[in-house]
A and B are shown apart, each in its own frame.
Chain A
Amino acid sequence: MATDEGLIRNCLKGKPEALGKLYDQYSPVLFSLCLRYVPQRAEAEDLLQEAFIRIFENLKKFNPRDGGSFEGWMKRIAVNHALNHIRTRNRHRIFVESDQQNNLPEVVEEEYNPDDFLANLTSETIHRLISELPEGYRTVFNLYVIEEFTHREIAELMGCSENTSKTQLLKARNLLKKKISELQLNSRYER
């Protein structure tokens, strides 16, 4: 925390080397987070850039005595910014071609146990599989499973009901399990 405090102090003074250090230290984590919410790389890069600016603008508000780590605080800002971006995007949506998003995933018959297979998967693969989820599922899944929000909090953030959040999570989980199962099957065939 002491190093974070020093880093924050130097960033507030506008020292370029401190800004660079802040970016180098935390951008990989935050970029991964942005990609989880917005899979398109170019869009995620923009999101990361904006999130970092927002972090910098609010840097003086961060108080380590409030509890919580600096990284956690930065992640919270990035998540809020990503959600805001998704909300704005959807609010101003002019027309959307609906592909597979409305096709609800079937409940996976647990022919194989994905949990066992999951333990052997790399984080990159899991990240990719989450990115492939439809936007609504992906957002709720990220918020609930990774960020550990409650359904009530997700409902407030997303502007939907708690039941919608629960349903979306269930479908997201099923779809992800299905994808993992497919991956597991493919890997068996390859062997």
Chain B
Amino acid sequence: MKGNNTNNFDQLIRAKLEGHTVVPPPALRASFINNARQTKEWYRKPIYWSMAALFLVFSVSAYLLIDLSPSIAPEKNKTIENKPSDNLASKQSLTKEITSQRNDSSIESKEEENHSDIVNNLASSSNRTPQGQVIGTEGTNDYSKSKDRVNEVLESEEQASATLQEKSENAVAQEDLANQKMNSFEDFGLISSLNRRNQPLPLSYSSSLEYRKVKQANISRFKEEETPKGFTFPRNKYYVGVNYSPEWMFNTVGDDKKLVHNAGLEFHYTWNDFIIRTGVGISIASGTSEIAVDYREYLGHYTKLDSTSYVWNSTQEKVEAVYHVSDFKVFDTTLLYAKQIIEKEYTYLRIPLIFGYDFYKRSRILIGVRTGPILSVLLKTTEKGNYDPGNNKVISINNLSPDRVNTNWQFTGGLVFGYHLNKSLRLEAEPSIKYYFNSVYEKNATIRKPWSLETRVALVYGF
């Protein structure tokens, strides 16, 4: 490090101190081992595993909510998406063929195919086949059964053709187009309801007035059954609410408590599936501040005679002395050193500006993502217990712990899970991770920027 400019004096000093040792007090040893064992590597700390487990639980819950809760509905939706056009096309072609080329044997085979499509489509929308009466869609046995049913339906269609002849081809097509959306629901509802009752398919399935009535009845029943209590996700535009978020901070200094309490009022504005959330809140963090005090110990006091005066006592007829004295404290000349821990409580004003997107909104459940900046402004610092030097003379007080900065910015991101208690009230839980753009402490190279894990719980009212 250094060149050869060391003189003899320096070399002698260095040589003398080369092997110098001072044995520290034995109590320090145990203290170090305890502290070292507490200062494990991050992955050994239970808090990280707890957080990871919490995240896993939330993730699995989200997956289950999205993937499994609508396990019936998506199948129906699938039917809704795939079947109407097929059914419509089949019906239209069937109608045309029946009315115009009824005696054509080649067309009859086509009709058979088309009917088989219809029936297969209808049956495919229901996997429940009570007592083998309902047509199956998979396997050769189901196919043979379905063929029988096709024949039945074909016969019924031929009977119905007399009615259909009265309508023009265009009229039928328009009517079916108008009912296209409904048919998909109705087909499923009809089949499923009949399946449940162990009833065969109606013979005049595709055309009769009776069929329409059955359809309407099934539609309403289907809606009642599949939307429990008739709850649909409310489309409120504005929400106000209260929240509380416990926050677990990392990279704090010394004995500063990791848990921070946040609470506040919030306001949401929603636009389709997007939201903006803001509000005001209070954040309370507590920590300790270490001070080093240099002092001189109080040894005692003495009374110094400043002056003496004499007064005449007329009653006793004598002169009396009056002593004027001052009290002086005596301190040790040795400078002593002491450390003192003072507890402090920091109150911040918290202003978030959160942007979000709700990707799942069904029935009472909402799942979305939230992210955005938060501004914290230090409002006040409260000290719990001041240093009391007693009679000792304080020479200097040095603050060993860094103070907190007045303003800091954070950036948060997380998932929100909402549950509608009713049309207006919603409960929200939002686990999130937060990064502090600047340290909460005064600038010091040894302090890393804090980050935290937070779970916001809120009750919001929509209007």
Closest chain A residue to B444 by CB distance?
Answer: A88
Please count how many residues in chain A sit with their CB below 8 Å of the partner chain's CB atoms: 58
Q: Closest 5 A-B residue pairs measured CB to CB?
A: A28-B21, A92-B399, A40-B337, A123-B20, A31-B24
Least CB separation from A97: chain B residue: B395
Once the chains bind, are B12 and A119 in contact (CB under 8 Å)? Answer: yes
Asked if residues B9 and A92 are in contact (CB atoms below 8 Å), the reply is no
**Which residues of chain B from 1 to 45 have any CB-CB distance to chain A below 8 Å in the complex?**
1-3, 6, 8-10, 12-14, 16-17, 19-25, 28-29, 31-33, 35-37, 39-41, 44
User: Closest residue of chain B to A121, judged by CB?
Assistant: B16
Q: Is A146 an interface residue (CB 8 A)?
A: yes
Residue contact B292 to A146, C-beta cutoff 8 Å: no
* A31 partner, pick from B23, B292, B396, B444, beta carbons under 8 A: B23
Is A52 touching B32 in the complex (CB atoms < 8 A)? Answer: yes
Which of chain B's residues has its CB closest to A43's CB? Answer: B337
Q: Which residue of A lies closest to B25 (CB)?
A: A45
Q: Known contacts A56-B39, A150-B1: does B397 contact A23 (CB below 8 Å)?
A: no
B446–A16 contact, CB under 8 A? no
Which of B's residues lie within 8 Å of A, judged by CB?
1-3, 6, 8-10, 12-14, 16-17, 19-25, 28-29, 31-33, 35-37, 39-41, 44, 292, 336-339, 395-400, 402, 444, 446
Asked whether B396 lies within 8 Å of A115 as measured between CB atoms, the reply is no
The reply to whether A126 and B13 contact each other, CB–CB distance below 8 Å, is yes
Q: How near does chain B come to A60, taking the closest CB pair, in angstroms?
A: 8
Which residues of chain A have C-beta atoms less than 8 A from B339's C-beta? 42-43, 46
**B107 → chain A closest CB, angstroms:** 83
Query: Cβ of A49 and Cβ of B9 under 8 Å apart?
Result: no
Q: What are 5 A-B interface contacts by the 8 Å CB criterion?
A: A45-B28, A89-B398, A92-B399, A94-B399, A115-B9
Q: Within the assembled complex, what's the spacing in Å between the Cα atoms of A153 and B3?
A: 13
Interchain CA distance A43-B16 in the complex, whole Å = 24
CB contacts (< 8 Å) of B44 on chain A: these are 14
A74-131 interface with B by 8 A CB criterion: 84-85, 88-90, 92-97, 114-115, 118-119, 121, 123-124, 126-127, 130
